[in-house]
Chain A
Amino acid sequence: MKTLLDAELPACRAFLAGESTGTDGHAQACGSCAARLRLRRGLAAALRTPPAPPAALRSPDFMAAVHERIVAQGERESAVVAALASPPRPAAPIDAPEPTLAPALARAVASAPRANAFAWSNVRQAVIADIGERRGLRRRASIWFVLASAAALAALLPLVLTPAEPPTIDIAFADLDTAPDGDFTMLRGGIPR
């Protein structure tokens, strides 16, 4: 009789591969595959009908007791909350390097009292304000940059768009001692004496 290890036979392998199709021709000839098929069908029937829980678990009193126990556990201080309330502190004082910190300063740093929450809140606010101020400065600088660029463009645009004018010619006046000849000179002053 073949065992499950014989499933490596090609016929058994083909039967296992096509097992989902439900053909049981090979199972009639192969005992191993027939047993396998039988177990599968039994397990499927057992899974279709889940077993009923015990009567003690289905009673309302049992469920109420479970609920009360959960609430009571939640009201007590849990281990996680206790751990968060007392963060781990370094086991030994900070070993400050000698060349950078004086021994007195190192001891002061190591034994410095922890800042309270209010102080850290002020620091946080100050940092946020500082960041906001820098952001405002950057925004204002951007606005000024855009405005300056627009002004420069507006100043240069007419120069670019208008046709180039000929250079201004300096014309000088030379004062004359006597009136030049002409009709108007004659009209106003008559003939020269």
Chain B
Amino acid sequence: MIPKPTEFRYLLDSMRLIRSTAAACRSLALAAIGAVLPCVAAWAQTDEPSNASPALVALDRSIRQQSYTVEQVRRFFDAKGGVTSVREQLQVAANGSSAPDFAMTFLGVVGEPTGSALHTRWQQTYARHGRRFATQGSFRVTNLDSADSNYTAHDFGPTVRAGRSARRFVVFPNAIDKSIWLIETDEATAVPLYVAEFDVHVRLLAEVEATLFTPSAATLAPQATSAAVVSDFQAARKAMGNPSELVDPPTGVTGEYQLDRVEVQNDPLNGQWKLTMTYSDGIDQFVVVQSPGTTDSFATLPGKTRGAPVIGRYRDAAMSVLVFWEGGVSFQVAGRGSLQRLDALARTIYRQALHTH
């Protein structure tokens, strides 16, 4: 049946309308996809868990993204109650990772004249251990997921530190054998301006206080270091010339502490190798240090003279250090004072060393 001319025109108009509507819908869909895709991609690229504490998230982000220069006072507390305050300058150049480039400079000992014996000793100490003060000497989020599962951050409101607006947080561990942290972070950059470490009895163990903060850093000159970070234990042993006496600590005995860093160091003074394995629960850390080619300096310990294996143990509120020697290797397991589970770890490593040799 052939349609009439009026009906034919009506059909053509309807087809044109449908075609234009479909084109408009297609354009809208493409535009919507184009707008949503970058958002989805950006969301997919962020590896932050949605339920992580905002304070921990901000601290983790500042480590990755914020460059700054800070002058600060680091206070060391000895077992007899004495305090030593050391002034230092820390320059940080963020590189997107959790291990930014940095430079640590010794400025002086509070109350000690420049050039004194104590000043000189501290200067030498900073020249040798300054990097470790920056990486392990204070509060630092090394792994956001682990930190969020092992700690809880509580916001205690605004404050002022180093002339800048800051927020005060208390970070509580979920386990009772770890330190409690009081932190004041810069409101604008989330960089810690004050860090105080307390034990479970609320005794002050360590303190770092910023006196001058600048949210930028000069270009850092590469600092000479004798330490090299490697991927794992096998790479470290290979770098050290494959000594057979080294022990790879079993992963099952470290609990929520995961291997965070493997470092190989050759002492420029005596050419001795040292392997440092750092374990972290996201914030707290302990180290297992192995130094091959050393003599048994603990041979005269009580009990050791009878031939029985003995671990030398030093423990105060601030640190636990366990040392033993086996097969020409000096072992040291060290962490914060309340972390008494290090005793069991040291014993496990010692048994492993006895079976290895």
Contacts and interface: CB of A to CB of B under 8 A. Distances in A.
Q: Decide if A and B are genuine partners.
A: yes
Interface of A: 166, 169-180, 182-193
5 contacts: A172-B308, A174-B313, A185-B319, A188-B336, A190-B84
B319 A188 contact: yes
B172 interface: no
Nearest to A182: B332
Contacts, number: 105
Nearest to A183: B132
Say what secondary structure dominates the interface of chain A: loop
Contact of B309 (A172, A185, A189, A193): A172
Range, interface on chain B? 35 or more
Interface of B: 76-79, 82, 84, 86, 121-122, 125, 129, 132-133, 136-137, 205-206, 276, 287, 289, 298, 301-304, 308-316, 318-319, 321-323, 332, 334-336, 343, 347, 350-351, 354-355
Contacts of A183: 129, 132, 276, 287, 289
Contact of B136 (A169, A170, A173, A187): A187
A180 B309 contact: no
A192 B137 CA distance: 17
B302 A174 contact: yes
Given A174-B301, A174-B312, A184-B321, A190 B76 contact: yes
Contacts of B309: 169-172
B76 A173 contact: no
A182 B288 CA distance: 11
A175 B137 contact: no
B321 A173 contact: no
Given A187-B129, A187-B132, A182 B321 contact: yes
A176 B312 contact: yes
B351 A171 contact: yes
Contacts of A177: 314
